[in-house]
Amino acid sequence: MRLGFRLGSHELRHGLALAPMAGNTNLAYRRLCRRFGAELTTTEMVSSRALRYGDEKSLRLLERGDDEVPVAAQIFGADPETLACAAQEVERRGFHAVDLNVGCPVPKITGCGGGSALLREPDLAARCVEAMVRAVSIPVTVKIRAGWDDRDRNAPAFARRMEEAGARAVTVHGRTREQKYQGLADRELIAEVARSVAIPVVGNGDVVDAASGLDLARRDVAGVAVGRGALGRPWIFRELRAAFEGRPVPAAPGLEERLELLRELGHGVCGLYGETIGMKIMRRLAADFLKGMPGAPALRRSCNRLTALQDLEVLLRQALEAPPAQARAGAAA
């Protein structure tokens, strides 16, 4: 395994990263993942145009904790000058790296030329990265997909282009834009990208436990980014770290510890966004935590009714109490 790389002045021993996920990877969630061993965290994608024009709602997505080192902010767009301005805002706010989104498959984003649409415009993408590199002194990184569709799996050539443009690392989600989140990430293609460039390549896609993490880690990558596998399971980073160090994989936290993490997350999210918006965000995050627990369908219905921190306390009690013996055994499994 070739895990580990430097990002600016920061050494990432195992290259263990939390993948950016809109609506999920807020500061409170990133903190939990970091506590369990995530070495690099990234904000969800933020519109470069909105940042350039100082949009308050978007600026709030650039919340960063002083304890979060290193942390990257991810921006999307397709206009070099706008991306350069947004990158400067990211640097002003103390982030340690700025990441360009070249993976988002959503038509609202690709329709404006951003996200994975840039995979079909390598010249424009290179100009975007060059403009960002000129504008800031923090490292500029790029997150890409395998390609636009099955006929055009251009990730290796695209990554080389990003490297020439000045990108300091590339994360590869091994699915095409056409696949969205279906099928499996192509790990051989990720390995090919890793062998095609000299900059660190972080592999991404379908890491859900130590075994799948090890399988990806053995593909010449310098790091592994975990997305959905970390939703409701921030401790996956502890499992991966142990696996990468050849140690036995620690058991998942028991029910009570999980619920305590959920309580902490709820308070963290409400601290960031206020109780009304915070609890809307928590409906989804809490459901992820409670997945697979006995009584999960009823608990999920309670998640949908979260409107205040008080409701979260009721939900936590409900999860603890019903049905106690099975719940404890199930959560520990």
Ligand X SMILES: Cc1cc2nc3c(=O)[nH]c(=O)nc-3n(C[C@H](O)[C@H](O)[C@H](O)COP(=O)(O)O)c2cc1C
Q: Give which of 270, 284, 268 is closest to 65, Cα–Cα.
A: 268
Q: Which is nearer to ligand X, 43 or 82 (CB)?
A: 43
Residue range at the interface with ligand X (CB under 6 A); choices 85-93, 204-212, 269-277, 306-314: 204-212
Size of the residue set binding ligand X (CB under 6 A) = 22
Q: Residue 300 CA to chain centroid, in angstroms?
A: 24
At closest approach, how far in Å is the CB of 165 from ligand X? Answer: 18
Give the 3-state secondary structure of residue 273.
Answer: helix
Give the 3-state secondary structure of residue 284.
Answer: helix
At closest approach, how far in Å is the CB of 52 from ligand X? Answer: 18
Q: How far apart are the first and last CA of the chain?
A: 29
Out of 73, 132, 202, 226, which residue is the one contacting ligand X (CB under 6 A)? 226
Out of 40, 140, 142, 207, which residue is the one contacting ligand X (CB under 6 A)? 207
Residue 147's region, left for phi above 0, alpha for psi from -120 to 50, else beta, is left
Say whether residue 45 binds ligand X (CB under 6 A). yes
Residue 254 CA to residue 165 CA, distance in Å, equals 47
Q: Which is nearer to ligand X, 141 or 302 (CB)?
A: 141
Residue 61 CA to residue 63 CA, distance in Å, equals 5
Binding mask 116-155 for ligand X (x = CB under 6 A): ---------------------------x------------
Phi and psi for 47 in degrees, rounded to 5? -65, 130
Residue range at the interface with ligand X (CB under 6 A); choices 96-104, 250-258, 291-299, 314-322: 96-104
Say whether residue 187 binds ligand X (CB under 6 A). no
Out of 218, 228, 300, 328, which residue is the one contacting ligand X (CB under 6 A)? 228
Q: In the structure encoding, which two tokens stand for residue 88, read together?
A: 């400067």
Q: Which is nearer to ligand X, 106 or 320 (CB)?
A: 106
Q: In the structure encoding, which two tokens stand for residue 235, read together?
A: 């401790």
Out of 204, 270, 302, 312, which residue is the one contacting ligand X (CB under 6 A)? 204
Question: Are residues 225 and 204 in contact, defined by beta-carbon separation less than 8 angstroms?
Answer: yes
Say whether residue 229 binds ligand X (CB under 6 A). yes
Say whether residue 173 binds ligand X (CB under 6 A). yes
Say whether residue 176 binds ligand X (CB under 6 A). no
Binding mask 9-28 for ligand X (x = CB under 6 A): ----------xxxxxx----
Active site residue 104: yes
The active-site residue out of 33, 104, 270, 303 is: 104
Question: Are residues 62 and 90 in contact, defined by beta-carbon separation less than 8 angstroms?
Answer: yes
Question: Are residues 89 and 48 in contact, defined by beta-carbon separation less than 8 angstroms?
Answer: no
Residue range at the interface with ligand X (CB under 6 A); choices 27-35, 198-206, 275-283, 288-296: 198-206
Q: Show contacts of 127-131: CB within 8 Å, 24+ apart.
A: 127/80, 127/165, 128/77, 128/78, 128/79, 128/80, 128/83, 128/100, 129/100, 129/162, 129/165, 129/166, 129/167, 130/80, 130/165, 130/166, 131/80, 131/81, 131/83, 131/84
Say whether residue 44 binds ligand X (CB under 6 A). yes
Q: Residue 169 CA to chain centroid, in angstroms?
A: 15
At closest approach, how far in Å is the CB of 176 from ligand X? Answer: 12
Say whether residue 284 binds ligand X (CB under 6 A). no
Residue range at the interface with ligand X (CB under 6 A); choices 6-14, 158-166, 199-207, 299-307: 199-207
Residue range at the interface with ligand X (CB under 6 A); choices 153-161, 226-234, 285-293, 296-304: 226-234
Q: Show contacts of 265-269: CB within 8 Å, 24+ apart.
A: 265/28, 265/29, 265/32, 265/289, 266/309, 266/312, 267/309, 268/27, 268/28, 268/29, 268/31, 269/26, 269/28, 269/29
- Which residues bind to ligand X, rule: CB under 6 A? 19-24, 44-45, 74, 101, 103-104, 143, 173, 204-207, 226-229
Q: Give the residue numbers marked as catalytic.
A: 104
